[in-house]
Amino acid sequence: MHPREWIEVRPHGVYCKVGDFYIDPMQPVERAVVTHGHADHARAGHGHVWATVETLAIMRARYGEDHAGTEHPLAYGEQANIGDVTLSLHPAGHILGSAQAWLEHAGTSIVFSGDYKRRPDPTCAPFEPVPCDVFVTEATFALPVFRHPPLEDEIARLLVSLEQFPERCHLIGVYALGKCQRMICALRAAGYQETIYLHGAMQRLCKLYESFGIALGPWEVVTSENAKTLAGKIVLCPPSALQDRWSRKLPDVLTAAASGWMRIRARARQKGVELPLVVSDHADWDELTHTLVDVGAPEVWVTHGRDDALVYYAQQHGFKAQALHLLGYEDDSE
């Protein structure tokens, strides 16, 4: 039976009829499979949640111990049965614990990638192509103009700026879950061993990453006491804190931001970003198109983002392809 017979798009999200569960639902539901911990995919209040151990830990950290009725933790590759469906989760390379969901029913299979990338990232397991009949992909950066530069180049630009402006506090807007920890690891890999200062909102998730064995090196939370002493230091904060009162206590701020959207100069300017760093946890155009080939599914469904371009590309290259037009998963700040 073709997956289109047992998967449907509903207002709350994608629904699996034969298993009676949703994938990354927008609203609390009785049964949910959650691909990763970002807020647009992981919501509080579900009856049952199937997710990786790491994603469940992230959900507890963000929403509290009682975020769901019952947790069903799965290791990568472990199988579970929900109704008439077999489920397993496979690394997506997006953030810690991020997973693609593989579903099989009556001899056909479908993979929901969730958000993913193909670049190396020491904070999570690398994306694993999983054979399937239908591959469901995101398309956040699915335009040929989106080609993310190597992360090392963006980190090098940041370190050069720090050398050129040794008195300026380099304040970088980064998403608190994933991007923050990946940036810290990349700075360490580039030889930056100084203390990195963090907005308080990042503390809990950094500790969680450390508890899963990801070494972040020395870091401290910015306080009203140490804020004045941070000239020439690197401070990470959520994108929303770049312009708010919180940042005014820091000395001579040089505003930076790390996001795939920093490729668009107008967006950087509009956000008052002096040093835009193009760093994304989503696949760029080349990663998306290569992934269609690597996975090799004859049929591709595109969930959200610039779906037209990717659907067109897939059709031109011999795949059956369609857009699902899912709303609510726009990764605005990544």
Binding site for Zn ion (CB under 5 A): 38, 40, 115, 329, 331
Closer residue to Zn ion, CB minimum distance, 3 or 93: 93
Cβ-defined contacts of 203-210 (< 8 Å, 24+)? 204/61, 205/58, 205/61, 205/176, 205/177, 205/180, 205/181, 206/180, 206/181, 208/57, 208/58, 208/61, 208/96, 209/96, 209/123, 209/181
CB of 307 to Zn ion, least distance (A): 14
| CA angle (122 as vertex; 230, 232 as ends), nearest 5 | 15
CB of 38 to Zn ion, least distance (A): 4
Closer residue to Zn ion, CB minimum distance, 115 or 307: 115
Cβ atoms 89, 72 nearer than 8 A: no
CB of 115 to Zn ion, least distance (A): 4
Closer residue to Zn ion, CB minimum distance, 18 or 214: 214
CB of 183 to Zn ion, least distance (A): 16
Closer residue to Zn ion, CB minimum distance, 230 or 262: 262
CB of 41 to Zn ion, least distance (A): 6
Closer residue to Zn ion, CB minimum distance, 181 or 255: 181
What are the structure tokens assigned to 20, written together? 């009676």
Closer residue to Zn ion, CB minimum distance, 250 or 302: 302
Closer residue to Zn ion, CB minimum distance, 36 or 105: 36
CB of 297 to Zn ion, least distance (A): 21
Closer residue to Zn ion, CB minimum distance, 236 or 326: 326
CB of 129 to Zn ion, least distance (A): 19
CA-to-CA distance for 333 and 240, rounded, in angstroms? 9
Cβ atoms 79, 112 nearer than 8 A: no
CB of 39 to Zn ion, least distance (A): 9
